[in-house]
Structure 1
Amino acid sequence: MKKGIVSILSTVAGVAIGAGATTYLANKSKNQQQGCIERYTTYYNMLNQWLILKTEGRSLEEYFKENNYNKVAIYGMGELGCRLYEDLKDTSIEVKYCIDRNLDGVYSELDVFSLDDELEEVDAIVVSPVYDFEVIEKNISEKVDYSVISLEDVIYAI
């Protein structure tokens, strides 16, 4: 009799734990999906605004000139960082180097450094992974004294 009760209680506990774990994992997955949706929506809106500027014949160079940022570095050489470099490449703004966590995976005409390296002084570091700007800005600011700006702020300021 005791074995039957223990068996039933074990089964009920197992089902409850399984249901709880399943619910937890489903919610975690849903939250991760929502985060991805928000990230890509931010990127979409920003790229759309950048394209509007381009069709109006405007360049991000305007922002940097207005703020006396003549020498800059780019943090993050994913798609957005590469587009930023291409946008500034043939302008009066000198892109001195780029910073990226994935040194081996970055192809660039520029020197690529990590935040652990000694960084040459520039007027500003532009962060291209805008969704994580606050965390990245904090990490960079612990290392250097120059301005750290978000690519999103640059695009929407023009």
Structure 2
Amino acid sequence: MKVSVLMTTYNHEDFIRESIDSVLMQRTNFKYELVICEDYSDDNTRAIVKEYKLRYPDIIKLNLQDYNTGGKGTFLSTFKMCKGEYIAFLEGDDYWIDEKKLQKQVEFLDKNLDCSFCGHGYKRYYHETGNFLGNIVHENRKFSLEDFIKEEAKNESNKLFPRLLTIMFRKSALENHPNFNEKVPTVDMMRVILLLEKGYGAFLEDVMGTYRINKDSTTQKDKIKFLERWIQVKQYILEYLPLKYSEDIQMSIEKSIIRKSYSEFIDRFMDPSNSHDIVKYFKTNNFNNIAIYGVGTLCNLLIKKIEGSGVNILHFIDKNTRGDNQINIIEPYEVDDNLNVDVIIITPSFDFNNIREFLKKKTKIKIISIEDILS
């Protein structure tokens, strides 16, 4: 068997048919199997995968759980059922859009024996609105474990972190790997690191799958909890990997902690009961005319909080323009003492120090963080 497609599913009755069909449509010059782990769903998912098993008994294998394991416990038992030289991941709410996806990745790995896995580009689909949010496209390239760790340190959204639905890897690269299920709350990053210990990772630039974003996912529903989990994973990685990676991993942990604090502040700022205190802060400090640096989530919240209060927003300062607002927008390099505002409020508080130091070189206007308003 050349390829095993390892699919995990839980409560995916609305999506699982599309996911399975995207595997069955694959055109290859080799045999492949689909091994589905159904994690004791509350909905009709199990009945659907059983139906497909009856229709495609020579292709589909089922690993039916007796209770809900929460995801982590499903991989190892399903992995052992896979007979392929290569394994491709797919979760039951995502799907592939290129009928030659498996063929292309097999051809790449057959030719590039120094690579333990490869990924590819994908579309992002927001299920609740039915809108596509744009494609994530990777350039054709190889990368090492050191490249991956350095990218994680400098960029919270690691461009070298492949989405699960895009990965195909050599089964031999994960055989006999250490059991870390009980040590980390989520295992995706550890699997990538284990694979990179066995060879290079690689990306194909082809866009061959669709990643479905659901409002009920952990990432969307509770960002603070999501960040807490990632901090725990990175702390484990800090202990696991050799000392030469420690500085970059520690930097990544610190950035995640700052992001978590930022998310916690957004939750506090959204509380309707503090609107009076926010307006009082501006009045007490005689901040009648203001400029806001950054046009993200906190900027929009601040606009709503002070609406009708007599506090005037004269400028937005941002590297990007925002066409749906009539207030004057200037780029950071245009800031000077002629803005005619009492204060500049920096909303990306996680990068406050760097932004403040840049602005202090441009103007003597008072500069504060948005977090000062609720301190």
TM-score (normalizing by structure 2): 0.33
Structure 1 residue 76, shift from structure 2 partner: 0.6
Among candidates 323, 326, 330, match of residue 113 of structure 1: 330
Separation in 1, partners of 2:372, 2:276? 16
Separation in 1, partners of 2:339, 2:148? 46
Structure 1 residue 110, shift from structure 2 partner: 1.1
Give the secondary-structure state (helix, strand or coil) at the position aligned to 1:149: strand
Instruction: Report whether the alignment pairs 1:28 with 2:150.
Output: yes
Q: Deviations for 1:109-146, whole angstroms, at most 9, x for unmatched residues?
A: 31111123355221100001111111111111111111
Q: Which runs of 5+ in 2 are unaligned?
A: 1-113, 115-142, 157-251
Give the secondary-structure state (helix, strand or coil) at the position aligned to 1:82: helix
> Using a 3 Å threshold, how does the CA distance of structure 1 residues 74 and 56 change in structure 2: closer, same or farther?
closer
Deviates most, 112-121 or 77-86: 112-121
Structure 1 residue 95, shift from structure 2 partner: 1.1
Letter in 2 for 1:83: L
Structure 1 residue 39, shift from structure 2 partner: 4.1
State percent identity of aligned pairs.
Answer: 22
Separation in 1, partners of 2:262, 2:318? 19
Which one has the bigger strand percentage?
Answer: 2
Aligned residues: 135
Q: Which residue of 2 aligns with 1:5?
A: none
Structure 1 residue 23, shift from structure 2 partner: 3.2
Superposition CA RMSD, Å: 2.4
Separation in 2, partners of 1:112, 1:58? 27
Query: 1:101·1:115 contact (CA, 8 Å) conserved in 2?
Result: yes
Give the secondary-structure state (helix, strand or coil) at the position aligned to 1:96: strand
- Which one has more relative contact order, counting CA pairs under 8 Å at least 6 apart? 1
Q: Counterparts of 1:64-143 in structure 2 under 5 Å?
A: 64-103=282-321, 105-117=322-334, 119-143=338-362
Separation in 1, partners of 2:372, 2:364? 19
> Using a 3 Å threshold, how does the CA distance of structure 1 residues 111 and 152 change in structure 2: closer, same or farther?
same
Letter in 2 for 1:27: I
Query: 2:315·2:330 contact (CA, 8 Å) conserved in 1?
Result: yes
> Using a 3 Å threshold, how does the CA distance of structure 1 residues 81 and 56 change in structure 2: closer, same or farther?
closer
Which one has the bigger helix percentage?
Answer: 1
Among candidates 366, 369, 374, match of residue 147 of structure 1: 366
